[in-house]
Structure 1
Amino acid sequence: MKFMCVNCRWLKALSLTALLTFPALANNTQLPDLGSNAFSTLTPEKEKQIGDVMMRQTRARLPIVNDPLLDEYLNNLGQSLIAKAEGVRFPFHFYWVNDPDINAFATLGGHIAANTGTLAVAETESEFASVMSHEIVHVTQRHIARSVEARSQSAPLTMASILGSILLAAVNPEAGMAGLMASQGVAQQSAINFTRSNEQEADRIGIQLLASAGYDPYAMPEFFNKLSEKTRFANSQLAFLYTHPLSRARISDSRVRAQQFEQKFVPDSADFAHIKARIWARYQLDNAAAIAHFQKKLAQPGGNTKANQYGLALALFDSKDYQGAEQLLSKLRASDDKNLFYLDAMTDVYLSTNRVKQALEMLEQQYLLRPNNQVITLNYANAAMQGNSHRLALHLLKNLLYYKNDNFLAYEMLTQAYKGLGDMARYYEARADLYYQMANYQKAIDDINMALNELGMEDQLENRRLEAKKKALHTEFSRLKKLN
């Protein structure tokens, strides 16, 4: 199943007002009481609540990648680091931004994003993990929370200016850093010194975290050095370096820190190679360039790997060469028929060549083995809908949303399934939930009204339930608007 991002146009500038115009809402989320001194004592509980709001704002505004294969990889890697981290006060969530530039950022409450371009240029899994460990430490050491507290004491700030400038700085560094300086009246030199202190601490603890989680601690200075070399003769700075200033002294210090650990070879996982191939095929290159890229790699000594064959299969599929893609995927599945990367791509081939029954049979077998896997479930539901088995799709999607209630693709497919059944009341309600995930309150409320119009007088319980849902949306939206 070829998955897309929520908004594939990168936003070069974000209005601080717009950031809070349609803030997103989590199911059953209770916002903290944010008065004029809301940030003076930012407790972990309050940080998580505000961070969840920020995350939904980010999801509504940025080209977030909703690709279950990428999502599972990133969250598995992130959770392997979290398991060894100290100072973890709340659950962490990791997500991708569809952007070829090298960047990663953390926001309040344990939400960490990585650009697809960051993994694309990482030569080893440990290099990529070093970026994630660095961002994790920014959260566990409460760098962002302490920064917000300090800034709130230096000037009278609103929710919009604080959260807007932080989010803007993360996703659009040049505009964001200017916004931070303008809105807060903090001297530039003191802001830089504060950042350097945070970066050094994130490096030091991040290297320890890498080693504890089984990754190569030497990967952090190696990756830093590559970033420095990459920009030495460039006219513009990498986005990552705007928010993570990198000096020669910092690189040297990270090397010294790493040398406290034994240097040993840490092999990459098979998933890393496949994720890297998927990112190059789907997010870094156009179809023709991707085909050329993987053909060249396969022709190189030692380059005839399963990951490169998989990458070429994706590129051929995206160019509508279904036969070429199937030939490669059939060989790959013959050696590993449970591999999710191959399963996902073969499903695409079957559905694109009108072999829905074959796709359903393949996916049913895998679903029985792994019923809670989102890659299998979403592919299975998609195949079911293409085979007009909309009730099966509904069953699969509802089960998935029961334990992963923020899955954007599941909400999107749910609307299609209800529409296929002609259940328009449920269709409009599902579409309201989709808008809710996209932080568009007004459209969500409008769709609840449409759902109510579809119900008959005899549907009293459903009427009361939807009215209560609409009231909750109105209440939360009104409360959020007061924070602007």
Structure 2
Amino acid sequence: MGCWFSGNLPESRIFIMKDYPLYKKIIFVLTLIIFLLNGFYWRFLGIESCQALTIEEERAMGKKVKLELDKHLELIKNQSIQGYIDRAGKNITSQIENKLFDFNFYIYKSSDPNAFAIPAGYIYISTGLITLAENEAELAGVLSHEIGHVMARHIAERIEKESKLNIATLAAILAGVFLGGGQASGAVGAFSIATAQTLSLKYSRENEEEADRLGINYLTKAGYDGSGMIGFLKKLKRHRLESFQVPPYLLTHPEVEKRIDYLDLMLMRLPKQGQSENNVDNLRIIQAKVIVDTWTTKNAVDHFKSSLESNPKRLDLIYGLALANKKLGDYDQAIKGFKMALTIHPEDGEILRELGICYLSEGKTENAAQSLKKSVAINEKDKDAWYNLGRVYQENGNFQEAIESYQRVKRLDTDFVDVYYNLGVVYGKKGLLGDAHQNFGIFFKLKGKLDSALFHFNKALEYYGKDTEERRKILKEVEEIQKNKK
């Protein structure tokens, strides 16, 4: 823990367990310190000592760190937002020869602009950073810099250099554990981070220069304007001056002024690319979705209404207001907004899908079917559109069409939980009780309700003969659940 913190600490409050009772906090800290003092932590990770890591050791560490980190972060699950970041990340990583790791990108909810990498190519980006970017090149510039850190194995390097744990720093960081929030906790957290940065937790200047050098090459090879990386650093600098706070990103990525200067010189030697202003509209749509997903609905509505006063024809603002009204349950206003958005962009599958969902929510199944059929015709991989088209068919009593739509969803995403419940209902309506119970079983298993899942799987077995493939599948599910319950 002491080593992988180096240069990769997202926000102090993530690690403050303010919801836990005091005695559990004390046990946690004492156990952690004992483990660290005795080297047990590294053996737990499968690493004999805190020395330079092999690729396989870094992969093992990355998986464990990710599992722990994800418990403390509120990850964004919106498939459209995630898809956008994944595409930008893939654009960059596709330029890398001999990739050391499979890169994975995650978005977490935080208004602070931040991005960080943990071992083995897991890269996290905050919603605050996404909304601060002005174009895709700026966003890609941040991703490429973090990818540079991973490819240069700076995390492993810090671990090698920090072979002796700084217990004073650890104690300062963990002091925040004992305060359950409020001003005192914030003060301790701020002190802990400041102390950590001063002592050992930030990237070195050489690390930053190497990550910038690698990153800007990846960025420009991917077709982005390298000035996007510089432009975003300037934004962070302004953000620091305007808010009188240091963004978390700058705590672990120091000397921003020097970075801007040498990146300017570096960029002069690279071929000019032209995507800095491209995809601005796409990014704005993503930013609108982030606002709807992460702000209070009232604040989102007020923001879009205010912005539309000076920009009445901007698609992202019209669409964002419609999404916010939909979330608010004001389907009439949402429908008006989506219709207006379609006058600007008539072949947009997502807008058609959202319009169809609003019609369905108002019981207008004929209008819903029309919009959703157009949506899946434009994008046949949109699982949400197929799911809601299935709901329309189910509502109208067209059970076979509903099953076909739901099966499309399953093929696109086997972990789409609600589709199994709906399939159970529809199969039940058709009198196919074996299929109904089997799908209910999968639904409850994915929900973690294992007793209910077992009940339905056992009921499903009553409808299948001994030598059928379905029976073998169900028995395998039952066996797996029984193992997990032990």
TM-score of the aligned structures, taking structure 1 as reference length: 0.72
Match of 2:94 among 83, 97, 102: 83
Does the 8 Å contact 2:233/2:260 carry over to 1? yes
Distance of 2:272 and 2:341 partners within structure 1: 34
1:342 correspondence with 2:355:
no
The change in CA–CA distance for 1:347 and 1:65 in structure 2 (over 3 A counts) is: farther
SS in 1 for 2:413: helix
The residue that corresponds to 1:430 in the other structure is: 443
> Using the alignment, how far apart are the partners of 1:379 and 1:195 within structure 2?
51
Partner of 1:201: 210
**2:368 paired residue among 359, 364, 368:** 359
**What are the equivalent positions in structure 2 for 1:22-33 lying under 5 Å apart?**
none
Please give the alpha-carbon distance, in whole angstroms, between the structure 2 residues aligned to 1:94 and 1:380: 30
Name the stretch that deviates more: 115-124 or 36-45.
36-45
> Which blocks of at least 5 consecutive residues in structure 1 are unaligned?
1-9, 19-31, 436-442, 476-484
1:29 is aligned to none
Over aligned residue pairs, what C-alpha RMSD do you find? 4.2
Q: 280, 293, 306: which one pairs with 2:291?
A: 280
- Structure with larger RCO (C-alpha < 8 A, sep 6+): 1
Which of 225, 236, 240 does residue 234 from structure 2 map onto? Answer: 225
Aligned residues: 423
Contact 1:218 1:263 in 2 (8 A): no
The residue that corresponds to 2:40 in the other structure is none
Q: How far apart are the structure 2 equivalents of 1:419 and 1:429? A: 13
Partner residue of 2:316 out of 307, 316, 323:
307
Q: Equivalent residues in 2 for 1:72-471 (5 A)?
A: 72-148=83-159, 151=162, 153-154=163-164, 178=192, 189-192=199-202, 194-232=203-241, 234-261=243-270, 266-269=276-279, 270-284=281-295, 286-300=296-310, 304-368=313-377, 370-381=379-390, 383=392, 389=399, 391-392=403-404, 394-401=406-413, 410-415=416-421, 417-418=423-424, 423-424=436-437, 426-435=439-448, 449=454, 454=459, 456=461, 461-462=472-473, 464-470=475-481
Q: Larger radius of gyration, structure 1 or 2? A: 2
SS, match of residue 347 in structure 1: helix
Q: Provide the identity percentage.
A: 23
Distance in 2 (CA, whole Å) between partners of 1:145 and 1:359 is 53
The one-letter amino acid paired with 1:13 is I
Gap change, CA 1:386 and 1:232, over 3 Å in 2: farther
- Cα deviation digits, residues 38-67 of structure 1 (max 9, x gap): 775644345445534544444454221111
1:137-191 Cα offsets, whole Å, 9 max, x none, are 222222234434555x44699xxx9xx99xx9xxx9x969959999xxxx95454
For residues 349 and 438 of structure 2, the distance between their equivalents in structure 1, rounded to whole angstroms, comes to 35
The answer to whether the Cα contact below 8 Å between 1:287 and 1:319 also exists between their aligned partners in 2 is: yes
Shift of 1:387: 5.7
CA distance in 1, matches of 2:485, 2:55: 27
Question: In 2, are the aligned partners of 1:381 and 1:397 still within 8 Å (CA)?
Answer: no
Report what 1:27 is aligned to.
none
The 2-side partners of 1:418 and 1:92 are apart by 37
**Structure 2 vs 1, CA of residues 356 and 210 (structure 1 numbering), >3 Å: closer, same or farther?**
same
Structure 1 180/149 Cα, relative in aligned 2: closer, same or farther at 3 Å?
farther
Gaps of 5+ in 2: 1-12, 18-24, 30-42, 178-185, 429-435, 465-470
Structure-1 separation of matches of 2:89 and 2:248: 22
Question: Is the CA contact (8 Å cut-off) linking 1:384 and 1:392 kept in structure 2?
Answer: no
**Counterpart contact for 1:100–1:117, Cα < 8 Å:** yes
How far did residue 115 of structure 1 move?
1.5
Change (3 A) 1:61 1:431: farther
What TM-score, normalized by structure 2, do the two folds share?
A: 0.72
CA contact (8 A) 2:353 2:371 kept: no
Task: Provide the rounded CA distance (Å) in 2 between the counterparts of 1:455 and 1:420.
Answer: 15
Where 1:232 maps in the other structure, the secondary structure is: helix
